Chain A
Amino acid sequence: MNKTAVSTKDYTHVKKAPFITITKRDATSLKRNILVRVIAIIAALVVSSVITLLITGENPIRLFSTVIDGAFGQFRIWGTAQSVAMLLGIALALTPAFKMKFWNTGGEGQVLIGALASALVMMTASSLPHWLACILVVLAGICAGAIWGIIPAVFKAYWKTNETLFTLMMNYVAIQLIKFFLKVADKSGSSTVGPSLLQYGRLPVIFEQQYMLNIIVVAVLTAMMYIYLRTSKHGYEIAVVGESENTAKYIGINVKKVIIRTMALSGALCGLIGVLLVGATSYSIDPNLAAGNGFTAIMVSWLAKFNPIIMIFTTLLIVVLSRGAENVSMTLGLNKSFSDILTGIILFFIIGCEFFINYKIHFNIAKKESKEVEFNGNN
């Protein structure tokens, strides 16, 4: 009947209906969406606490309260807010690229290169007025991040160079550049370049709260990214290119331009986070400045289905769990990597549960038997 259907459908028709068949779901109800995820998170928490129990022999209830304390305790709440802000910021930055189905695994490097550019300004801008230095710090970071994003985008747009691998490699180029900077800038051989060297153009501290600027910037960024993706013409183009390049061409979207523009934005926003980390937070730079958030952000954005508002919650989930686990390992005198294990386990569960949202599983017990009967009857 339909030739294209024949070509794309299975050629190896299975002899009998298999025991399990899996089909794609057309639509999922919101209820199911939430329910499956909640079950996954609960299952993940159960597994995590069993593992913690096995290793530490600690009472699970006390464990749980340690987690809560670790995330929201008096001395830790601001740290949590800061972690949320930074992770969310990077996730937001990566999101437009992901919506375009451009797998930007280079968030870490884009943050770091932005930080590096800012640090350079902060070290050298001695003769400039403070406000000008501040502007330069921000601009330098944003531009550096944008360049780090544009390079792989150009090659993707014109030569279809694999962007996942390209952006991944760019991370390590950035890391080594920072190491180089450390050697050159700080003759003492220290592993960070600290506040004593990064004097100029520090961004203002507002409300006398060190992390407040970061939090406000990321809050604004969240709202703006939501608006950008949902209501701007660019956002619409990104969605069309991501969904179907063919359709994009059909309506005359310049696909190459959109890819490069979007990656410039993605990189620039990562760079901005780098600016905040150096210019508003620590006034120091080291290769571990982004703390792997460039990678964690990929998961955060993906788990939120690229929705900036939901991203707030996925970020919270990850940060609370990892800071909580950090507290657990601290109070129990365990190594702090323990939190990475728990984060990993929880991610596995959330990643895996997508399947039960997107696919339907049929068990063909009755069908199978009836079909066999039919064959026997004919023979």
Chain B
Amino acid sequence: MAIIEQIVELIVRAIMQGTPLLFGSTGEILTEKSGNLNLGIPGIMYIGAISGVIGGFFYQNSTSKVITVLAIIIPLLSSLAGSLLASLIYGFLTITLRANQNVTGLALTTFGVGLGNFFGGSLIKITNSDTPFLALSKISAAYRTTLPFANNLGIFGQLFFSYGFMVYLAVVIALAVSFILKRTRIGLQLRAVGESPATADAAGINVNKYKYFATCIGGMIAGLGGLYYILDYSKGIWANDAFGDRGWLAIAIVIFAIWRPNISILGSYLFGGLYILFNYVSVSMNLLPLMQMLPYVVTIIVLVIVSMRKKRENQPPASLGTNYFREER
């Protein structure tokens, strides 16, 4: 029995670890489908996190009685707003001003990580608050509320119902994005923009509009990953750099999932599991970094195999990384 319990616990923790990755990779897939390689996603995830934390911080400090609904909605909305603004910076620079996508993305990551760590580390000092450290325990409690009957269902309940709502939200969003890309007119046109902007343009599709929407909505989804990490996974406690390289891991999962959000659910949980596997298998702690290296190595292998097999459906969007400019006659 002990082994089964351990496996269940591993899966549960893998899912929790995988959730921020799932938000991030889903957001990045949506963005990349429009041809924009947003390397600012790691930064946006920090911004999404800190924006939510700031919203929650002010709410928690403004009232003595925290109402659950508001505790959820206020950080959620402020996180979305923060990510949206960050995505707009990227969008404005690359789509309207046609700046190099790699450079813009990396600058945004520098900016975003800095912003997160700065406010995370200084919020208390700036606001002259009397709390000793940045801990949003009441807000976090709202985020960590599980279904009431989860504990009565044994292993089954533990596996499927023991999470805060954002775990489910991540899955729902991933499936929704998958559905939109595959089965709707908007998805078709977005994919056309990413594959061949000139063709899409010729067909009367507003290329820039699609790029903006995909980048902004994608960024907002990714930002939720940061929010989940702080308010649910870390129990509302901010620690600088705690989020680590998860943003880059999310970009790796995009490749691993060959640009399909539904596969990215699996990929995120798998990579999440690799992050914590060392707790469950009896290997020396020394091997931990090698295990954490595994996701990246696997990603590289996927990237290589995909490019060697040349199966067209699995390639990156054909216009990825390039800006579209219609030469006026």
A residues near B (Cβ < 8 Å) are 8-12, 21-24, 55, 103, 105, 155, 159-162, 164-166, 168-173, 175-180, 182-184, 292, 295-296, 298-299, 302-303, 333-335, 337-341, 343-345, 347-348, 351-352, 354-355, 358-359
Contact = CB atoms under 8 A, between A and B. Distances in A.
Contacts of B113: 337, 340
A178 B326 CA distance: 46
Contacts of B289: 176-180, 182-183
Interface hub of B98, B99, B113, B249 (most chain A Cβ within 10 A) = B99
Given A160-B307, A337-B240, A352-B93, A12 B114 contact: no
B201 A10 contact: yes
Describe B's contact surface by its main secondary structure: helix
B80 to A, nearest CB: 21
Given A341-B111, A344-B114, A176 B293 contact: yes
A131 B92 CA distance: 54
A168 B308 contact: no
A351 B100 contact: yes
Contact of B104 (A162, A295, A351): A351
A352 B326 CA distance: 19
Interface residues of B, number: 66
Interface string B76-107: 00000000000001001100011110111011
Contact of A176 (B39, B93, B296): B296
Contacts of A172: 245, 248-249, 252, 293, 296
B304 interface: yes
Contacts, number: 185
- The winner among A21, A55, A352, A355 for most chain B CB atoms within 10 A is A352
B110 A103 contact: no
Given A340-B113, A340-B114, A341-B114, A302 B100 contact: yes
The residue among A179, A333, A344 with the most chain B CB atoms within 10 A of its own CB is: A344
A322 to B, nearest CB: 9
A341 B240 CA distance: 15
A12 B307 contact: no
Contact of A162 (B92, B100, B303): B303
B155 to A, nearest CB: 33
Q: Which 5 A-B pairs have the closest CB atoms?
A: A340-B114, A344-B111, A176-B293, A335-B121, A179-B289
A298 B103 contact: yes
Contact of B303 (A12, A161, A298, A354): A161
Contacts of B109: 295
A184 B56 CA distance: 42
A292 to B, nearest CB: 7
Contacts of B296: 169-170, 172-173, 176
A12 B251 CA distance: 35
Interface in B87-142: 89, 92-93, 97-100, 102-104, 106-118, 120-122, 125-126
B204 interface: yes
Contacts of B304: 155, 159, 161, 166
B270 interface: no
Given A351-B104, A354-B99, 20 more contacts: A9-B329, A12-B202, A22-B328, A23-B328, A160-B307, A164-B102, A165-B316, A172-B245, A173-B293, A177-B289, A183-B288, A303-B103, A334-B118, A335-B122, A338-B122, A340-B111, A344-B110, A344-B115, A345-B111, A348-B107
A175 B293 CA distance: 8
Contacts of A180: 286-287, 289-290, 293
A218 to B, nearest CB: 22
A355 B321 contact: no
Contact of A55 (B126, B198, B245): B126
B327 interface: yes
B73 interface: no
A11 B202 CA distance: 5
Contacts of A171: 248
Contacts of A351: 93, 97, 99-100, 103-104, 107
A208 B114 CA distance: 35
A159 B327 contact: no
Contacts of B181: none
Contacts of A8: 198, 327
A296 B328 CA distance: 35
